Amino acid sequence: MKVAFYPGCVSKGACPELYVSARLIAEPLGLELHELVSAPCTGAGVLSEQNRELADALNGLTLAMAEAEGADLMTICSTCQGVLSDHNFHLKNDEARREKANATIADQGYSYGGTATVKHLLWMLFEDIGIERVTASIKRKLTGLKIAPFYGCYILRPSEALGLRERPERKTYLNQLIALLGAEPVEYRGATKCCGFPMLTFNRDKALAMGGNHIIEAKEKGADLLVTPCPLCHLNLDGQQPDAARVLKQDIDVPIFHLPQLLGLAFGFEPDELRLNHHVVSTKGALEKVELKV
């Protein structure tokens, strides 16, 4: 299946393990990735906050590029998903906004017709690729692992632009997937809460406490690891975890996996190929439970 692949800045920056693992799992899933290499950053909500017209034009350009590819746009980042969904929702439904964005990008040879579909890999697994194909690709069941899903905010809220009103089952995909891969999903409150990353630079200690609290809750419920569809959550939960432990005066030490890394493990790829040896919090203990080493 052909998709217009939008990897997002972080997967090419501070989370290269996300990009590498997403590329690896594409083949077993039958995904033909047409990367939108000339598409700009979504602005992550930061640009739209100060200059909505600018963010409409930038995201309108990306959506027009996906339209030109004639394929659904696939994200691997919840923040990209949230921002693109929001702009797509408004550019589809508000003709004046769409016309304005199109007027800005017209001389670049692009025009957005309002027909693009933006989908996170997590949604595509269930809605396009199908769980039969996912199941058929499993070569290594993750039996024995207790995995806490960490959805984060932008793949869940606001529910209208994300299409969750029509498809409420999207709120349960991570849990379903964990079970499908043979592991046990951990039920905990933090699963749908904020990781704290958006206020890391503004209110550092509170942002660290926010993320750290969720990991501690999952750990107390027996989680061996957390899995997230968002690399920004990963930056706060993995990258900042030692600092969060310092702020909360508590040992944490729970590895955080990207969604494609977890899929990759189940599809038989080696931990090193998935760059599971390039995390701040060691993945060793969790991998030993499925008899793997990094």
Partner 1 sequence: MQFTIEVGRYNPEGVYADDAQPGLPFPPPWDKSPVRRYQTYTVDLPEHAVVLDALIAIREYLDPSLAVRCACRSAICGSCGMWINGHANLACKSKLAAFSQGGKTRVESPPSMPLIRDLVCDMKPFWDKHLAVRPWLENKQPTPPADREYRVPNASMEELIQEVSCISCGVCLMDCESFAVDQDFLGPQALAQAYRYAGDPRDDKTKERLGQYSGPGGIWDCTHCFECVQQCPKGVAPLDQILKLRKMAVDAGFTHNPGTRHADAFAESVKHSGRLNELTLMPKSTGLFNIVGQLKTLPSAINMARAGKLPPLIHKSIPGVERIRKIFQRVGGRFK
Which residue number, 118 or 213, has a Cβ lying nearer to partner 1? 213
Return the structure tokens found at 21: 């693992």
Q: Which amino acid is at 162?
A: L
58 binds partner 1 (CB under 8 A): yes
61 binds partner 1 (CB under 8 A): yes
Range 9-48, binding partner 1 (CB under 8 A):
9-10, 12-17, 37-41, 43-47
Return the structure tokens found at 177: 């997937």
279 binds partner 1 (CB under 8 A): yes
Which residue number, 28 or 260, has a Cβ lying nearer to partner 1? 260
Distance of alpha carbon 71 from alpha carbon 196, whole angstroms: 33
Identify which of 273, 274, 272, 294 has the alpha carbon closest to the alpha carbon of residue 283. Answer: 294
141 binds partner 1 (CB under 8 A): no
242 binds partner 1 (CB under 8 A): yes
Residue 77-106 contact track with partner 1, rule CB under 8 A, x = bound:
---------------------------xx-
Q: Which residues contact 128 (CB under 8 A, 6 or more apart)?
A: 1, 72, 119
Structural contact between residues 53 and 81, judged by C-beta atoms closer than 8 angstroms: no
Which residue number, 28 or 212, has a Cβ lying nearer to partner 1? 212
Distance of alpha carbon 256 from alpha carbon 268, whole angstroms: 19
The 10 Å Cβ neighbour count of residue 135 is 11
SS3 73: strand
216 binds partner 1 (CB under 8 A): yes
114 binds partner 1 (CB under 8 A): no
Identify which of 87, 112, 81, 88 has the alpha carbon closest to the alpha carbon of residue 99. Answer: 112
Q: Which stretch binds partner 1 (CB under 8 A): 120-128, 184-192, 256-264, 284-292?
A: 184-192
SS3 45: coil
Among 149, 190, 229, 264, binds partner 1 (CB under 8 A): 190
Which residue number, 86 or 128, has a Cβ lying nearer to partner 1? 86
Return the structure tokens found at 135: 């199941």
Distance of alpha carbon 20 from alpha carbon 72, whole angstroms: 21
1 binds partner 1 (CB under 8 A): no
| Interacting residues toward partner 1 by CB under 8 A | 9-10, 12-17, 37-41, 43-47, 49-51, 53-54, 57-58, 61, 104-105, 107-108, 153-154, 157-159, 188-190, 193-194, 196, 198-199, 201-204, 206-207, 209-210, 213, 216-217, 220, 239-240, 242-243, 248, 275, 278-280
